Structure 1
């Protein structure tokens, strides 16, 4: 029995070491309209100076502002500050933003019923650390289900917190940092939503927090990169799902492409801090070991 346990530990260590060869992979390059839009001037255009006076209305703030009081999990306060200062949005009056708004108007004109159904579904996904603190909360189970959305979407219903408690612990820590990062940036910069600048936009829903940076895109890519540390061979699939999620926010008319690209870059920078954090490294090792033991009998092939 002792030899069997030692052999199992050795095998899991080898698997983890192999997985770490993929760790810290560079961020995929800009593509499609994101590359085209970022090539345009991001500086103020005097011809549209009025747009630079528009900020997210204080009357529309929500309770999400309380996340400014929460301590990060894997990040330090200094890292949160540095990361929050590493991104900025183009001037509202810039040629880049005008092109972004035109792009979103074009998406709006081509929205299909099938698209609306899918993006609305994706828009309802969201894990909230505060809900996870109250097991009797009416949304507790759904919240945990949403925590595993990306894994479940790609590999089936058996990918859940009950079957993978170590993976759940890792994702919960990541998502706590994500919410803190999201709202630290949003309430520091107070970017108006696209529909505040372009009256022709008809968003599928309105959001009660500032636009920059996109929270949905941040969690989509941060989870995709985290899952990819657990299952390196599925990185392409996780990144593709994150891409769909970020583009859904543009189809909905609630996020500029620049909101989404900033969040993609930010999530990758967060991962670099994580890979040098002993607590994250420990939790990742445990999640990888759990995955390799439990998943063979549960994962949809």
Structure 2
């Protein structure tokens, strides 16, 4: 696959540490492609920046907040939704949940997988959110009480982008541009530091590599790819 060829060195490194994963049910009866017990992702993310570096990030965010337009605030609020169908502005009007059940299943499972893995860093470091660190930050996007690092939204948006771009390489450049926007909107919205977004990107890459050897992912991916390309009338 496209992103496996690009990330082969990382795949070897991670696979030595983790072994291949099988899809399995979590305590919430959701299915995921990679169990957190199979690898400690924090070894590959590294810790969040220290207080001095965090203060510099806050300074940059305050400037961004000062320059934030009402339209940017609206977009940041809307991109709170973690769904692959937020890429519809890139994929076109046929990219709809009710038309694509297999695609929906694949990306919903990727979302659950990312959620399970991101909790490792959030629980380990418990980095406080920007509005908690500095009350001058006025968030316009919603956020949870969980740790800030890594960003779950960035993890999902980049993981979704990696898989979606592999399914539809004709649109890969725009897909990744849109994924970057999701991350930028979390910073613009005042709920994540830039370093949270970068960590989410790294985690997404790690997950994308590791799930390749999972037969459940392979099967779901193949079915969803065929469905999506047919719906988009791509050969």
TM-score (norm 1): 0.65
Going from structure 1 to structure 2, the CA distance change for 1:230 and 1:201 (only over 3 Å counts) comes to same
151, 157, 177: which one aligns with 2:113: 177
The reply on whether 1:159 has 2:95 as its aligned counterpart is yes
Structure 1 residues 162 and 199: alpha-carbon distance in aligned structure 2, compared to 1, 3 A threshold: closer
Are residue 255 (structure 1) and residue 192 (structure 2) matched?
A: yes
Which residue of structure 2 aligns with residue 221 of structure 1? 158
2:15 aligned partner: none
Q: CA deviation at 1:174?
A: 0.8
Partner in structure 1 of residue 168 of structure 2: 231
CA RMSD of aligned residues (A): 2.2
Whole-Å separation in 2 of the counterparts to 1:292 and 1:122: 25
Identify unmatched segments of 5+ residues in structure 2.
8-25
Please tell me whether the aligned partners of residues 89 and 258 of structure 1 are also in contact (alpha carbons under 8 angstroms): no
Is residue 287 of structure 1 aligned with residue 227 of structure 2? no
Q: After TM superposition, give the deviation of residue 25 of structure 1 in Å.
A: 4.9
Q: Which has the larger radius of gyration?
A: 1
1:24 aligned residue:
4
Structure 1 pair 115–271 and aligned structure 2 pair: CA distance change class (3 A): same
Shift of the alpha carbon at 1:206?
5.6
Cα shift readout 1:39-74 (whole Å, capped 9, x = no counterpart): xxxxxxxxxxxxxxxxxxxxxxxxxxxxx9457611
User: For the residues of structure 2 that align with 1:246 and 1:218, how far apart are their CA atoms?
Assistant: 9
SS in 1 for 2:223: helix
Give the alignment partner of residue 202 of structure 1, picking from 138, 162, 175: 138
Equivalent residues of 2:41, 2:120 under 8 A apart = no
Instruction: Specify the SS of the correspondent of 2:48.
Output: coil
Greater RCO, CA 8 A, separation 6+: 2
Q: Check whether the contact 1:89–1:259 (CA below 8 A) recurs between aligned residues.
A: no
SS in 1 for 2:98: coil
Question: CA 1:147/1:237 → structure 2, altered by over 3 Å: closer, same or farther?
Answer: closer
Contact kept? 1:178, 1:219, Cα under 8 Å: yes
Q: 1:213 to 1:77 in 2, by over 3 A?
A: closer
- TM-score under structure 2 length normalisation: 0.82
2:46 counterpart residue number: 88
Counterpart of 2:214 (choices 271, 277, 286) is 277
Q: State the partner residue of 1:192.
A: 128
How much has 1:91 moved relative to structure 2?
4.0
Select which of 95, 109, 116 maps to 2:66. Answer: 109
